[in-house]
Amino acid sequence: MAAVDLSTHPGHLARRLQQAHHLLWNAMVSEEITSPQFAVLNALIAEPGLDQRGVGERVRLDRSTVADVVGRLTRRDLLDKVRDPQDGRRALLRPTAEGRRVHRRLTVRAARMNEVLLAPLADEERALFLGLIQRVADAAERLRDPLAETVTPS
């Protein structure tokens, strides 16, 4: 059997893109705070007081990953956990003052990194590219959870 042309394989291209993103993130944004950690912190800047499940839904991380990320951010004193007054079993998450400072700093750096990552594309291509990968990512998540489309929120 002949070798296949991996330039036509979305998974191969997605891995290469993720590898480039990871290298740029470490070089330009932070070696200490990962992109998923930033995403969780960002979600809680936007909506302080979410619980762990809500944060995972906002940033599209699975339960075990979001638990790990929240634990790491809490240990670094970037997030606080507060018991929900209506449900003592549930913890609400809020960024600490240090978490807000770190978020401000990383937001500027991440914007610069995104400019470098998207530099090969013209402005109109950037919007198209981001829209297309968003659509593919959304569809891939539905494949992972086929019941998500059939369940309607009450």
What is the spatial distance between Cα 91 and Cα 131, in angstroms, rounded to a whole number?
34
pTM beyond cutoff 0.95: no
Q: Is the pLDDT of residue 153 over 70?
A: no
Angle at 124 between CA 25 and CA 126, to 5 degrees: 20
Q: Is the pLDDT of residue 111 over 70?
A: yes
Beta strands 79-84 and 87-95 are antiparallel
Q: Is residue 32 within 8 Å of 26, Cβ to Cβ?
A: no
pLDDT of residue 84: 84
pLDDT of residue 147: 56
**Residue 146 pLDDT level (bands cut at 50, 70, 90):** low
Number of H helices, E strands in the chain: 6, 3
CATH 3.90.105.10 given to domain 31-142: no
The string of pLDDT tens digits covering residues 61-91 is 999 999 999 999 999 999 999 998 888 788 9
The string of pLDDT tens digits covering residues 33-52 is 999 999 999 999 999 999 99
**Phi and psi dihedrals of 78, rounded to 5?**
-100, -20
Domain boundaries, the chain: 31-142
